[in-house]
Amino acid sequence: MATDELCFLNVTELAALIKARQVSPVELVQALLRRIDTWNDDLLAYLHVSAEQALAAAHAAEIEISGGGYRGPLHGIPVAYKDIYDVQGLPTTAGSKIMAGYVAPADSASAARLRQAGAVCLGKLNTIEFASGSMDVFGDARNPWNTLMFPGGSSAGSGTALAAHLVPMATGSDTGGSIRNPASFCGIVGLKPTYGRISRAGVIPLSWSLDHAGPMTRTVADTALMLQAMAGPDPRDPSAALQPVPDYHAALREDLQGIRLGVPRTFYFEHADPEVIDAVHQALEAMQQLGASVREVDLPHSCYGPAASWSIAYSESFAFHRANFFTRSREYTAAFLHKITAAACLTAEERVTAQRVRQVITAEFLAALEHVDAIVTPTTAYAAYPIGGASPQADVRSLTRPVSLTGLPALAVPCGFTSTALPVSMQLVGRAWDESMLLRIGHAYERAADWFTRRAPLAARTLPPLELPPAPPLSAVDAQWVMDFARLTGLSFVTEADAAPVAAALSPVRAQLDAAREQLAASCEPPVRPAPGW
């Protein structure tokens, strides 16, 4: 096999070759470094390539394997980390000037566990600032299926690197969809595990109550192997659960006999692009041919989930960044500063409304999952859009944010392509701690459909502009309201130039929360205790 072809093999294929000593970890790392050197200037997947350290680790892995010390299927396999994960001795930038000069003194929990499993770190991957701003500081990562297109946020570099075959596995983080969205746009597999399944220690937080660390790969079987290494309790993270970790790879099957799939009646298919809807429906038919049954489920409050998720996540983010906002606000990108400041302008009642919506949506998912093994939706309502072309309304149309509120596991799996050759993805949502079921379903479908064998062209193509669904009506928030609110609440860093973009970010969220408030029963409380199953 030509060494360059090693870059196109998946983790399970490479593991078998390395175990049999037919492929050396050193030649694999060398092949990937050559490919990174060829393509990274164009794609900007990596912010830091640790070539010397990777080669040293690969040599060590080769010696250990040759001496009979094979650790398992990730031994000698390269991995790269979203640049909010600490890896000892490497910079963690979070895509921000705020982090300039920081070098991680220790591994994050995930990096430590993957290192223990024998994985070889290739470097750090591009991300939007603090997982919710822009990539203005270091430049935009490019989508390998069309380099004019956005690869999805905020694990953008992870999606790009995997789709471009610059690494066989990568980490991501998901607060409102930041693993699943780039998985969708880049035609790869991404898992948001159950909240608490993987430790968040050593990962810069966006939202303490919504952040999920997770694996990203090109196949479901590879995701299972990576999850196996990353999952488990951790005293450094109080949210890391004590739940037992099963054998995820052993759960994989190539049939779906007896599996019950639920399809939501409302919201998830209402505003999606027709090509996306068609692809997901065809995937459902394929899964029925594999033995699954399909029924409708009710998730009527999901339409309010995007604003609730946005409000909770960015209110927590403001609390985390508050001190720097007052002393270093102009060192943040405008996109991050304005979005997080908008959350600081929510009222106390609006934040409570968001939490009440979270409770209702979680209850609806738990009720639906009593009757089905997984819920199937599109991952994103449309395929990748042009870089810089996102609508301000995109956050309140998100199909991933309602699921994030629940803490339930969700797997994004490729399920086709649009007429313009951009990937389409479906989202599988399962019961708490039952990632095995999602991996089983995703693997069986993936093997039958075979989408994962396609290779991205790594070239630009001219495409028509994205047509997003009509925007919801805006609530009464304008620049003057923002300035008045900022003065009353002491947000002294907010200037008149900030007021209009802050108002634009806040308006659709407040409108959706206003609509949600009218639909909530008076007896609906915010979460005051763990949901069933936690």
DSSP 358-414: HHHHHHHHHHHTTT-SEEEEESSSS---BTT---TTGGGG-SSHHHHHHT--EEEEE
What are the structural domain ranges in the chain?
A: 77-300+364-453
Strand order of the sheet with strand 212-217? 46-49, 120-125, 78-82, 169-174, 212-217, 189-192, 410-417, 423-429, 374-378, 260-264, 293-297
Query: What CA–CA distance (Å, rounded) separates 240 from 333?
Result: 31
Query: What CA–CA distance (Å, rounded) separates 129 from 178?
Result: 12
Q: Indicate the CATH number of 77-300+364-453 among 3.90.1150.10, 3.40.50.920, 2.40.30.40, 3.90.1300.10.
A: 3.90.1300.10
Residues facing 411 on adjacent strands:
191, 428
Q: Is 178 a catalytic residue?
A: yes
Q: Supply the pLDDT for residue 13.
A: 98
Give the pLDDT of the chain (534 residues) as one tens digit per residue. 677 899 999 999 999 999 999 999 999 999 999 999 999 999 999 999 999 999 999 999 999 999 999 999 999 999 999 999 999 999 999 999 999 999 999 999 999 999 999 999 999 999 999 999 999 999 999 999 999 999 999 999 999 999 999 999 999 999 999 999 999 999 999 999 999 999 999 999 999 999 999 999 999 999 999 999 999 999 999 999 999 999 999 999 999 999 999 999 999 999 899 999 999 999 999 999 999 999 999 999 999 999 999 999 999 999 999 999 999 999 999 999 999 999 999 999 999 999 999 999 999 999 999 999 999 999 999 999 999 887 656 788 899 999 999 999 999 999 999 999 999 999 999 999 999 999 999 999 999 999 999 999 999 887 666 665 565 555 668 999 999 999 999 999 999 999 999 999 999 999 999 999 999 998 899 986 555 445
Structure tokens at 175: 């607060």
Q: Supply the pLDDT for residue 3.
A: 75
Q: Supply the pLDDT for residue 414.
A: 98
Q: Tell me which residue of 152, 123, 195 sits closest to 362, measured CA to CA.
A: 195
CB 524 within 8 A of CB 359: yes
Q: How many CA atoms lie within 13 A of 346 on its CB side?
A: 33
Q: φ and ψ at 79, to 5 degrees?
A: -135, 155
Cα–Cα distances (Å) from 209 to 205, 292, 314, in that order, read 10, 34, 11
Q: Supply the pLDDT for residue 395.
A: 80
Q: Supply the pLDDT for residue 460.
A: 86
| Residue 322 CB contacts under 8 Å (≥ 6 apart), including other chains | none
Which residue in 24, 132, 154, 302 is the catalytic one? 154
Buried b (16+ CB within 10 A) or exposed e, 488-523: eeebebbeeebbebbbbbbbbbbbbbbebeeeeeee
Query: What CA–CA distance (Å, rounded) separates 412 from 424?
Result: 10
Cα–Cα distances (Å) from 418 to 182, 382, 530, in that order, read 16, 9, 41
Q: φ and ψ at 177, to 5 degrees?
A: 145, 15
Q: Supply the pLDDT for residue 532.
A: 46
Which residue in 178, 239, 475, 507 is the catalytic one? 178
Amino acid at 295: R
Which residue in 24, 82, 108, 339 is the catalytic one? 82
Residues facing 274 on adjacent strands:
none
Query: What CA–CA distance (Å, rounded) separates 179 from 155?
Result: 6
Q: What is the pTM of this model?
A: 0.97
* ∠ Cα 21 26 30 (to 5°): 135
